[in-house]
Structure 1
Amino acid sequence: MTFKESNQVTGKKFNKIACIGAGVIGHSWATLFSMKGYTVHIQDINDEIIQRSLQWIKTALNLCAEKGLITKRDAENAFDRVKSTTDMSEAVSEADYIVESVFEDYDVKKKVFREIDSVASEEAIIASSSSYLLMTEIQKVTKRPQRCIEAHPYNPPHLIPLVEIVPGIATSKTTVTHTVNLMKSLGKIPIVTKKEVYGYIANRLQRGLTREANDIVNSGVASVEDVDKALSVGPGIRWAIYGSYLVNYFNTPSHLTQGKKLPGLVKEGYKEYSLLKGKSFDDMVRWRDSKLIDVLRVLKHLPKSSTEQPLS
């Protein structure tokens, strides 16, 4: 992602953002929006939580400046754009886009959505950072279900590009479009689900992996540290570039070209895979290896040149 200030969104202009819930996810959203030039109101139930969140935001902005993503002046200006309050009405009354990041519980989220709905402008979009729950259930308590949507980030939102856009049954196509465009303007990579399912996409994949990891550790096969190491220096390096379906492509290209052993929708999905179109297997191998070398050098598993030694 790039972090140049910009608050222009194709089709709709957003000026003020409200982040309801100032915890781990909420403060990170606020960090991202402030870096992109937005005025952001963070809201939570007490001053202690808010002060902790403001410190987290300042720390995150300073680290981004230290790493060269933004300048020191950019970080200072971004922090100045962050406002805080315990009052819901003050936080959301002038907001164009409101993102809720409270506890993962239907009753809690419904209570917050109901309160937001009662004081927010009629045109405001209300998004949830929920990582598992269904918007169809949450939006029932509002008078604007068509403007309610899930935008599930991967933690930390101000750094990880993925955001899963999950419409509820009453969510309008316009709300989906505006949310996708807003996320793209922030430098994020949105994926819109074709249907609602608990856990969406990435978390379902991650939970399956976690179940297997726990079984390996509890069966005495390997330690917690070695399981993490196996992932981080093995498949994790590939996953920084491509996912499970391209892993299968590189491992068994003949199955893909001949259509063997592939379920119907998966087989069709390979035909629609944009990265594969117009490229031979040799082209893709060159692309893969070039990307892997770049990643390995960043992680310092490979030397920058033939005279430098890699880190052990």
Structure 2
Amino acid sequence: MRDQVQQVLDTLRLANGLYVASPSNTYHYVWIRDVCYMALSDIHRDNSRFEETYHCLFDIFRKYKWKLAYHATHKPHEAFEYIHPRYTADTLEEVHEPWGNAQNDAIGAFLFGVGEGLRQGRAMLRDDEDKSILTLLVSYLITLEYWHDADNGMWEENREIHASSIGACVAGLLAIRPFVDVPWEAIQQGLCALYRLLPYESVSKEVDMALLSLVYPYRLLPAWMSEMIVERVEGTLLRRHGVIRYVDDKYYAQQGQEAEWCMGLPWLGICHALLGHREEAFAYLARSQEQMTADFELPELYQPVTETPNENTPLGWSQSMWLILYDMLYDS
């Protein structure tokens, strides 16, 4: 079954090594965050796909280096000034339309992936230009004062201070610190701000699926707090077909019920596997498979009343989460 799920993910992979989020018209774009999460399914496999993906992400940053260099010393304020999280699939241009472009977690996810690859001895940096991009991204986050910057967060919605965004930046800076200069104060500020917010995601969201990122992939929290985050997500957000993003989520809601995101099931399974709960992890793997179509496609979500997938099927992020969980359970 793994091969079939992998083949579905591969249909979303572009010739340059990047991924579109989904084949649907609304999601046929390259999101930095989605690409980083999709690439994680390759990080422990014996091929060069992981670094190929990141080299192309580096190329995007090189293309917009002028913008990155400016905002490495000039704090952005309007959403369009931020380093964009989303690009066209063909030309890799910024998508010029009003959008929640202030997404600090996307930058953190990129830095984290680079650092993890370097830690495993992968050729993540091709030359000094790639290394200079990392240095500029560090300066960008510091100038932004990410630890108290109100961004649009993982779900690209209203701007507020998000624990998952702060955590992504902290994890990214920690991951690359052995390889480029990262002032410890920048990490310390983030950690202090993160623990002031936890276990909440933000002022408006006590429990949010995005908090699972602090357990995986970032592994930022002590075991007892990771357990608490998982228990809170399961107790508040877990549903039949998936995990709702947060209470009263309006995206694809029907009759006051929130949409159920399929990727939450393998994500919870991964968290349980990391915490040593293999029985629970296997159960979530099985639950995830039950949500697949006959073609081994995991949707973005199931609509709550009709109990049907939305058009963003398959969602690359969902596919990759299932693959990661499968490999954790069967390759360990």
Structure with the bigger RCO (C-alpha within 8 Å, sep 6+) is 2
TM-score by length of structure 2 reads 0.29
Pick the structure with more strand per residue: 1
TM-score by length of structure 1 reads 0.30
